Structure 1
């Protein structure tokens, strides 16, 4: 790895660490307590502290892959940033209840020359340094619910952003788990392809030896060579697939795809029993109420309702307390042609200001209609989100049920295929069997092993996918 590649890997992590440290300091100064609930990391409560070595573990475990992805993936960081932005929006809405105070100061050097022709006694020439300073204040006392609606809108949008962050974390968790299991399957496929290549090589050697002794026809040796070449072809493809899967897994963790990873193959001894005892109908009822995407849709609807009230209130009168104090040292003159003298002055006022919008070209009416239509759209979005998560849970549950059964079936298939191959190999070695029988059982064993690998990977993926669709993925789901 050259210096440029190292820089591409290290710089994003350094920037992320700097942003995290800056965010922590900013949250410490939160007078209006709008940012108190923001998580310390992009992974929220799943990974409270994001601290990793520069290089992934060898071998790389699923837990580390998940944690690196949730902390570093651009999608999770974007969702985290959206939460921080909406939290700041709540702070802005709360700040509207406080008075607005501004101060100004001005310093200037004045040079004034008046030359009146034929009347020099009326001419003047003065130079002065003038300074002025003032303070003004404006405090909205009543606005017919406008600020309250704005605050409700901001809080609802914050809740929507948090729910969206939860949904993003669930999706990212499921994605990296799927890619991890796919990588495990690819590594197992590579291992199986190596075994098949070695197995066909032994068969080819045995067939060639029998052909050389005149015990078997030349076609036995040629068929065995053909099957071995096919195994070599499959091995090459398995090597390519394994590297592709490793690159996708590295990308999930926001690493360069060329970063070397070591992922163990699928664990043969995995326990593939059903992990969800709750009836699927109950799961669907629960997810329609609690899934992050449904919660986000509901919060967006509440924000849209608040927007209607906010838009209506913006067209109503506002009552404000206003005040100002200004002081300056502007020189004064008693009259034309007379010299100026140093002087000081000040101005102050305090009062009540009423602002009444009288006519806005009917724009307010259409803005309110637009806000109402947006609220209707968000109400429909709730039903759409509930329908989607219900279908996702149903589909994932059926996939897990099928994957559980196939995991058991694949174990039986491998055991039978292994016994069949062992018997055919023995028959061929003692001269009783033929090459076609040996090759058929050899191909059947290779296919059974591939199905077993895929069945175990499918079961792992289906289990995590269902937990993701339920919106309940967490560290406890990492085996």
Structure 2
């Protein structure tokens, strides 16, 4: 019977919990402090720690909360941590591997020799043995270098993907913020239209009561008032939906009360994107996070192919081992065992040469090379898509910028037309159709103005997002 109690100590196997936080290669320096990376706009207090929502809620506050708390941004942040740790794994391959083994064995050995009892034996002993071995790869034809480069490029890709995720989240929460602003503006306009329709209904009822207008005037005005009430109720529901969506973007309960600024606040059209569309496209194809991620993935694939080739070549290592034990010794069969100690050591150079791997290496290299081709086509597709997105967003922004001016003039004309029709009807020289038509035109102009403001902000935002330029400081997106 043999009872063995053994422990194995080696770098990466036996390690106290406290040592898990020790970063010998300083890989954590490559990881942003918060999930928001460099896009966090908060200037005071602890990063990604927030108090109550502002009233009204500013766009930069909404963006900060979304960038810090959104599950997608946190997932992208965690992926950066994964790839940063991969750098440490690749660098660790340059260091020696040391393994220690210790055994404590209770040996109970009985031998019965048939018809020769004098040759039998019964030995009991507690045997301890310990050994330390070292293996240090000295040269491997660039395999470790390629592995480190692969890890570095994967980290670069993860950081670029994080930037792209932050840009996408920024764009989403800002778009939803503008939608909430627009919904609030449309509700205010619907309430104003409802009030105007109520006043028109009261005025028509008074004229009918004095016998100076037909009952159809009152009925038409009442119909217009009922329609305005319906639109106001719908606008209230649309606002609550938009506010719930915005709260969810910030990882808050959709029922969280939110107040947003007036839709017309901060409307200052500028020359933020004054370059030609060709310059914008060229810039985006060079610097967009999606393109940067695709480039890094391509470089990682190239390094992976080099690593795969190097793994099929010889490697040279320095090896050493020392062991000792107290295994009892015996002079021969039937002789008693005597206490003894022993030790063994060696050091030298070891050369490992892969001679035959069943053609597996050849196919691994083919696979790695094909992956390089895949990443090259992915990069080409990313650049092509970015160029097209910038072109579309630029043209949309130009159109919305013109409509911003057009709707301002339209609203002014509609307001003057309604004021004139209202005065004419009150004076008895106008008719109810003229008043209701001008009232309807004013409501449409209000809605178009609000939609134009929202479209302009969204188009400006989308162009910045397609170029990878999103930031509160550089855009000042009408949230002041």
* TM superposition score normalised by structure 1: 0.91
- 1:162-198 Cα offsets, whole Å, 9 max, x none, are 1111111111111111110111001111111111111
Q: By how many angstroms is 1:334 displaced?
A: 2.5
Q: By how many angstroms is 1:347 displaced?
A: 1.5
- 1:212-265 Cα offsets, whole Å, 9 max, x none, are 222211111111111111111111111111111111111111222222222223
For residues 55-204 of structure 1, what are the structure 2 equivalents within 5 Å? 55-116=52-113, 118-204=115-201
Q: Quick check: 1:174–1:464 contact (8 Å CA) kept in 2?
A: yes
- The whole-number CA distance in structure 2 between the counterparts of 1:401 and 1:422 is 32
- The whole-number CA distance in structure 1 between the counterparts of 2:352 and 2:139 is 11
Q: By how many angstroms is 1:382 displaced?
A: 1.9
Residue aligning to 1:287? 284
Q: Quick check: 1:247–1:258 contact (8 Å CA) kept in 2?
A: yes
Q: Quick check: 2:305–2:368 contact (8 Å CA) kept in 1?
A: yes
- 1:66-104 Cα offsets, whole Å, 9 max, x none, are 001111111111111111111111111111111111111
Q: Does 1:459 align with 2:452?
A: no
Q: Quick check: 1:274–1:404 contact (8 Å CA) kept in 2?
A: no
Residue aligning to 1:360? 357
Counterpart of 1:258 (choices 236, 245, 255) is 255
For residues 9-88 of structure 1, what are the structure 2 equivalents within 5 Å? 29-47=22-40, 50-53=47-50, 55-88=52-85
Helix, strand or coil for the counterpart of 1:277? Answer: coil
Name the CA shift for 1:333/1:28 in 2 (closer, same or farther; >3 Å).
Answer: closer
- 1:300-328 Cα offsets, whole Å, 9 max, x none, are 11111111111111111111111211111
Counterpart of 1:405 (choices 388, 402, 405) is 402
Residue aligning to 1:301? 298
The count of residues paired between Structure 1 and Structure 2 equals 455
Residue aligning to 2:411? 414
Q: Does 1:470 align with 2:467?
A: yes
Counterpart of 2:447 (choices 427, 438, 450) is 450
Q: Quick check: 1:30–1:36 contact (8 Å CA) kept in 2?
A: no
Q: By how many angstroms is 1:472 displaced?
A: 1.5
- The whole-number CA distance in structure 2 between the counterparts of 1:63 and 1:268 is 14
Q: By how many angstroms is 1:342 displaced?
A: 2.2
For residues 424-435 of structure 1, what are the structure 2 equivalents within 5 Å? 424-435=421-432
- The whole-number CA distance in structure 1 between the counterparts of 2:382 and 2:151 is 22
Q: Quick check: 1:93–1:150 contact (8 Å CA) kept in 2?
A: yes
Helix, strand or coil for the counterpart of 2:216? Answer: helix
Structure 2, unpaired ranges of 5+: 1-17
Name the CA shift for 1:28/1:267 in 2 (closer, same or farther; >3 Å).
Answer: farther
Residue aligning to 1:386? 383
- The whole-number CA distance in structure 1 between the counterparts of 2:62 and 2:217 is 48
Helix, strand or coil for the counterpart of 1:338? Answer: coil
- The whole-number CA distance in structure 1 between the counterparts of 2:207 and 2:418 is 19
- 1:353-411 Cα offsets, whole Å, 9 max, x none, are 22211222222212211211111121122221111111111111111111111111111
Q: Quick check: 1:58–1:261 contact (8 Å CA) kept in 2?
A: yes
Residue aligning to 1:227? 224
Residue aligning to 1:10? none
For residues 334-345 of structure 1, what are the structure 2 equivalents within 5 Å? 334-345=331-342
* TM superposition score normalised by structure 2: 0.91
Q: By how many angstroms is 1:339 displaced?
A: 2.5
* Root mean square deviation, CA, Å: 1.8
- 1:395-447 Cα offsets, whole Å, 9 max, x none, are 11111111111111111111110111111111111211111111100010011
Name the CA shift for 1:27/1:214 in 2 (closer, same or farther; >3 Å).
Answer: farther
- The whole-number CA distance in structure 1 between the counterparts of 2:248 and 2:163 is 21
Q: By how many angstroms is 1:268 displaced?
A: 4.9
- The whole-number CA distance in structure 2 between the counterparts of 1:445 and 1:326 is 95
Residue aligning to 2:345? 348
Helix, strand or coil for the counterpart of 1:101? Answer: strand
